[in-house]
Amino acid sequence: MKVGEFSTYAAYFVAEYAKEITQNYGYSIEKGLAIAEQDIKNDLPEGVATPNNYLLCIELYQGIKSELIGYLWYGLRDEGKTAFILDFYLLEQFQGQGHGKASLMALEQELAHSRIEQIKLRVAYHNKPALGLYEKTGFNITGYNMVKMLKNS
Ligand SMILES: CC(C)(COP(=O)(O)OP(=O)(O)OC[C@H]1O[C@@H](n2cnc3c(N)ncnc32)[C@H](O)[C@@H]1OP(=O)(O)O)[C@@H](O)C(=O)NCCC(=O)NCCS
């Protein structure tokens, strides 16, 4: 991702992430948006140049012409041995056509030349396309995230 592409990415991220946390935690959309805006500020304070974070644009090439079809953001964990996928998104009109699988395989190939030993991620239990994709591409389930909302949330 180039510096000039970050603001478009951030706007997409805040909208999508707010929607997700609103659904998952039952927050109001205002609260979801406030959390999403704060999270991206905290996690990517220097935008594309934030240390230990890699923001990628997924592009589809047809001949020499390329088109932006999605994003993948990963951060380094475990002293650089783990790539943790923090966001992975294909624009709606490009979903379900094999691009997700191709993107993960491309990432895996790229990381094969690094000192990163594993890829980790978190996925919502109801996200069937994502679960299907990760299962197909060799990820194993290592646990479940659980939450119980309290009245004062
Ligand atoms: C999740 C996502 C990245 C998957 O990418 P995609 O390009 O749509 O998926 P692909 O077409 O590459 O599908 C790969 C495999 O996933 C599985 N899959 C795809 N859609 C599925 C669905 N609706 N239900 C069950 N499995 C599905 C299939 O096993 C498929 O392999 P196959 O076609 O060989 O059978 C994409 O749909 C997306 O961006 N969704 C919205 C954002 C999101 O949920 N991101 C993941 C957050 S963890």
Model confidence at 113, in pLDDT bands (50, 70, 90)?
Answer: very high
Percentage above 70 pLDDT, the chain: 99
Mean pLDDT within 90-103: 97
Claim to verify: residue 44 and residue 75 sit in the same structural domain: no
Model confidence at 152, in pLDDT bands (50, 70, 90)?
Answer: confident
Q: What is the CATH number for 73? A: 3.40.630.30
Decide: 19 in ligand 1 pocket, CB within 6 A: no
In single-letter form, the type of residue at position 153 comes to S
Claim to verify: residue 99 and residue 35 sit in the same structural domain: no
Decide: 89 in ligand 1 pocket, CB within 6 A: yes
Claim to verify: residue 37 and residue 75 sit in the same structural domain: no
Q: Which of 60, 125, 133 for mutating ligand 1's site (highest number of atoms within 8 Å of CB)?
A: 133
The whole-number pLDDT of residue 151 equals 82
Contact 53, 77 (CB under 8 A): no
Instruction: Report which protein residue has its CA nearest ligand 1's atom 27.
Output: 129
Claim to verify: residue 133 and residue 61 sit in the same structural domain: yes
Decide: 123 in ligand 1 pocket, CB within 6 A: yes
Mean pLDDT within 118-127: 94
Decide: 6 in ligand 1 pocket, CB within 6 A: no
Decide: 129 in ligand 1 pocket, CB within 6 A: yes
Mean pLDDT within 76-84: 98
Claim to verify: residue 110 and residue 44 sit in the same structural domain: no
Domain that holds residue 91: 52-153
122: pLDDT strictly greater than 90: yes
The whole-number pLDDT of residue 125 equals 87
Claim to verify: residue 44 and residue 100 sit in the same structural domain: no
Decide: 91 in ligand 1 pocket, CB within 6 A: no
Q: For the chain, what is the domain count?
A: 2
Claim to verify: residue 36 and residue 56 sit in the same structural domain: no
Reduced to 3 states (helix: H, G, I; strand: E, B; else coil), residue 35 is helix
| Shortest-distance atom of ligand 1 to CA 95 | 8
Claim to verify: residue 95 and residue 58 sit in the same structural domain: yes
Chain centroid offset of residue 84 CA: 9
Decide: 77 in ligand 1 pocket, CB within 6 A: no
Q: Per residue in 5-31, pLDDT tens? A: 999 999 999 999 999 999 888 899 999
Which of the residue ranges 22-26, 70-74, 101-105, 128-132 would you say has the lowest mean pLDDT? Answer: 22-26
Helix (H) or strand (E) holding 70: strand 65-77
The whole-number pLDDT of residue 39 equals 97
Claim to verify: residue 85 and residue 124 sit in the same structural domain: yes
Claim to verify: residue 7 and residue 81 sit in the same structural domain: no
Claim to verify: residue 59 and residue 31 sit in the same structural domain: no
Claim to verify: residue 62 and residue 136 sit in the same structural domain: yes
Mean pLDDT within 17-46: 95
DSSP 144: -
Mean pLDDT within 125-135: 95
